[in-house]
Every structure is written in C-alpha cells, then in structure tokens.
Structure 1
C-alpha cells in the first residue's frame, strides 16, 4: 500500500500535552492533563463514563476547543494554528469512532474512497465510478487489508455492524494517516466483533508503524491491544502504566476507586 511523506519532521514525541484543561459550562471535564506519547506506540485510554476520554481525544485536534494548556501534535503547536493549517494537520490524523459515520446508500468501496479527500479534494473522491484508477486500486487494497474485498460493491447498509466498522477502518487507512485516534471503536459491537476490530486496529497500526491512541471500556482490550495504559478519573490523569505490567485486578480496582 502507498506510503505518505510527512509534511513536517517531528523527531520528538508525536504528542505532548502540557496542563490541558477543558470546561463545559461550570463543569471541568479535563484538568491539568500533561503527557507525552512516543512515535509508533499504542496507548489505551480508560476511564468511567464522563471521565473525559472522548473530550481528550477530540481536543487533540481542536474538534473540541480546550480552555487552556498546550498541545504539540506531529511537530505542530495545535493551539496556535489558523483554520487552514489546522485542517491540514487533521488530514494527517485518522479517526475511528464508535459510530461508523458511513454513507449508508453508497458501496463499501465508495465509502473507503472518501478517505482520499484528506489529501485530494474534488468529486473524484466521492464515488467509485468517478475515482481515478490509482485511487480505486488503493481503496480496494484498504478493503483487502481489513478482509472485506469481497463486499466492495455492496451498499454499507447491507453490512453487519462489525463489517461496517471494518469499512470505517479501511477509510481511515485510505487517508494514509500518521496518527490514529480511535474513540471506543468496540463499544457498539458484540464481544466477538469488538475484539476483532481491536485486534485489527492494533495489527494494522503496528504493521504500518503508526501511533495509536484508543479508548475502550473493555479492560481486556486495553491490556491486550496496547503497550501503555492511561487512566482518567474525574478529568484527571490518575494512571499511567505499561500494559504488560497491568493486571486485571489492578485495572478493576482503578474503576472501583473512581466509583467510591
């Protein structure tokens, strides 16, 4: 599959947060979050509902505007970027959400082709019948990477939930991202499909040497499909541990302590 040249060299960490804060009205959602994430690492983000996981992920590229703090992402000062530069930075970040955000009436192939718009605007990225041959072949490669080349021409509203999420992963690959942010990609799926998606994301990002930050409620997924676990409690970072050293008992205690 095609590679992507980095727009900016970033020899330091892929992500560096310094005292990041976010409020929604009178409520503080994120409080003084500071951390660094190395290039090529896989980081799992855990925490109870309302702990701030989704807000943190969206804040990294200002889909949610932080109240204060510093964000350095892929070598750029995110808080200082104007709209055009911010859009270009976002094009280098692949997103996988709990909801697939696909166009139901279009084929799997057309939905994957939408990922090319991260680097090439225009109607030729809308539908498979308009696509450039090279883009169409790349989109088919992306579907093959997630095991769905056999449903390329099927409408996505005919696919299962697990298949639809795989199409969303293929669309993300079509962007040729440098960083992948996955916000509970397993949450709306049955246990088997959820594990398959997490395993797929972890394998593909390892193969392509991409940085992965993924949030999940399922502790076994956090342990098995990451090399570092970060825990949020009431908007604060209260856990930072190597996945290999994290026992199921310790992680369950982390959630119990939040509820106490």
Structure 2
C-alpha cells in the first residue's frame, strides 16, 4: 500500500513556492512505482518558473521483502540529531511496518489505553506501543534496522543494485563505506569529529574501502572534477594515518604486556 503526502517547499533555484504530492512509503511489489523510482521519476517536481528539477523534501521508506531491504531517505539527515531523525521517520516507518506486517500475516497486540499521549492517539500505530523485546519477537531483524541515507539517488542506486542480483548485505556494506567517505569529507576541517567518525567505523577501514576511494577518485578525475578527486585522496591519507597510529598503539600495548 503506497502512502503519499503533500508538501510545500521553495524551488532550490529560484525560490518559487511549490506544492506537490509525493510518496513517503511504498513496496517493491508495486512494480510500476518501483520502475518510476529507478527512472528518477518519484518525488521530483519541475519548477514551472525556472524549469529546475527539485527533489521533494519528504522522507521516503522503500521496502523489498524478497531481498530483505528496508531503506529510508531523510532530507538533511547529515545535520540532524538521532532524535530529529527518529521524529522525521516515525510516521512513514511505522506506516511501512504496519503494512508489511499485515501482508506477512503478523498481528500486533492491542495497545494499552495509556500507550499514547492523550488526544494524539490517531498519530500512532499499534507498532508504536510495542516494546523492543516484543518487536524483536514478531518481526524479522532487518525490519527493525532501516538503513537511513541522505540522498534519494542513493536509494535508487541501492534498489537498482539488489534488483540486478547484488547481495543485500554487500549493498549495505558498500553504502556504509560511501557514507563513511562522505562523513570524512564533511569533517575534513574538524580533526576531533573526523577522529570520532574513523573510530566508530573501524570495521570498514579495509582494503575494500581503499578500492572504493581509488575508483571514485579516478572517476572524478576522468569527469574533470579535480577538486573532489583531491578530497578523496586526502580522505585516503587520513585513513592510512589513523590506521598507522592505531597499529603503533596496539604494538606498544603488546610490548608492555
């Protein structure tokens, strides 16, 4: 069951105020919609004033049960706290889970009368009232951990990859590497934030990450984007330096023992 919403926003080019209906959730079984997504025809609006292409500032949750993929696009997620992300995703995510559970034949228990804020009951679903333990017992694990991305094009790339036969876990790992690279580029002027990013993503600081960086760097140079190619090489250097420091620390600790 596809779910849509109406949003008002300003054109990113000429600031003309626009209003457009867009999707906040749909499933891969809706094949026509999925095909439109892959053709970059979902949640986009052409400004009638300047003809610029605009991506609607709506969150979008996409589900592919056959491939166990649940991905969510949240506009501006890079600047949001975890609480803000949860707030932005709550309604589309809960709507998605409710629809998926119904099609899987999963019934959620009737919530207690005091489960939701008084006067706001209509804004919540039965899923909202579940404890983490109940949700884990009722639902497959992948449904409890949606992959949140910062670009609608990233959603499209992920859907395309799994439909072409790439394993979902492999797609998710590649996506984690790409998001790590973006985070390192964004924190290049903040050494403390950059170190935190590296420390939290140590499992991905491997040869496959370097291969992704080198491939992207070569592509940027071929396309004439020398600046981004240079940033990618700086990211590579920072990762190598961080790994060397960690290895030196580990060696000193081992020698002391």
Q: The TM-score by the shorter chain falls in which range?
A: under 0.3
Larger relative helix fraction: 2
Larger relative strand fraction: 1
Q: Which structure has the higher relative contact order (CA within 8 Å, separation 6+)?
A: 1
Look at both structures and tell me which one has the larger radius of gyration over its CA atoms: 2
| TM-score, normalised via structure 1 length | 0.26
